[in-house]
Structure 1
Amino acid sequence: MHRPKAQTAALMASPEDIEQQFYEALQHAELDRLMDIWADEDEVSCVHPGGPRVVGLAAIRAAFETVFQQGPIAVTPERVRRLHTGDTAIHQVLERVQVEGADGVQSAWVIATNVYLKTSHGWRMVLHHASPGTGHDIQEVVQEPTILH
């Protein structure tokens, strides 16, 4: 179901709202809904796991249209790390993707970076960069801060 721009804007009050809309659109293969979250900028870009950098709204739409020909994507964002500063938000996301294999449904991991900008129309995505994870579970390497605040 395609939402009118005014209704969609109400759902984009924060980067978290945009992210939720993005993953729900992937889960339901809703191309128009997915495209509504992108900023109207020439330099928006998307990298699918193992794919090239796709730049511009028309190219991003075409890339997702091809992906959605296989149906919805059973993806769940997990272990999100957020960095917000001013009108920019960067979310590092471990995505759990359910894939149908010879042994039934299995989980695969994708490591994604989502970048959002606050525009005159609310928060919008400007970059989704996804890379394939390795193994069945992703372990994070995290350095604890050395300075106490």
Structure 2
Amino acid sequence: MPKTKLRAAALAGTADDVEATFYESLQRGDIDALMACWADEDEVFCVHPGGPRLVGASAIRGAFEQMFANGAIHATPAHVRRVESLASAVHNVLERIEVLTAEGPRHAFVLATNVYHKTAQGWRMVAHHASPGTVHAPDESEEIPQTLH
């Protein structure tokens, strides 16, 4: 099946399918596939670690295009926590980011919250908010603390 058909199938699926497409798009540096994950609504928003709130598809696209100018973003989601209903889903994700340095690959961790709504076009992302994560790499068996403050 061609990539565009696979992408369309994923976007017609669940919020989990859209999330998988979002992270695959980051890893490939594919701006069109990434933007296909977003809802076609004026109020969608995105916040990158330490960055401003970006509102609207064109602002979000511009930010990701700038990021992709430096290469793909090697972000792998882990430790996903989900709150879902019939028409919305909220996923809290620990993103493992691979950064290439002169000393070799290093890993950083980012906590992200992804919000999805079920639209006429299927599930779509309406918000992505990322902030600096843990100082160390959590072990797969290690529980991420659940307290807010």
Q: Does TM-score exceed 0.5, indicating one fold? A: yes
Q: Is the 8 A contact 2:27 2:75 kept in 1?
A: yes
Q: CA offsets per residue over residues 13-53 of structure 1, 9 Å max, x none? A: 10000000000000000000000110000100001111000
Identity %: 52
Cα offsets for 1:107-127 (capped at 9, x unmatched):
110000000000011000000
TM-score by length of 1: 0.88
Amino acid at match of 1:140: I
Equivalent residue runs for 1:1-149 within 5 Å = 3=4, 8-12=7-11, 13-138=13-138, 140-142=144-146
Q: Could you tell which deviates more after superposition, 132-141 or 92-101?
A: 132-141
> Please, which runs of 5 or more residues in structure 1 have no aligned partner?
144-149
Is this contact kept in 2: 1:18–1:123, CA < 8 A? yes
1:24 partner SS = helix
Cα distance, 1:141 vs structure 2: 1.4
Separation in 1 of the partners of 2:70 and 2:94?
22
> Per the alignment, in what secondary structure is the counterpart of residue 79 of structure 1?
strand
User: Counterpart of 1:146?
Assistant: none
Q: Structure 2: which 5+ residue stretches go unaligned?
A: none
Paired letter, 1:92: N
* Paired AA for residue 32 in structure 1: D
- Alpha-carbon RMSD: 1.8
Give me the TM-score of the superposition, normalised by structure 2.
Answer: 0.88
Which of the two has higher C-alpha Rg? 1
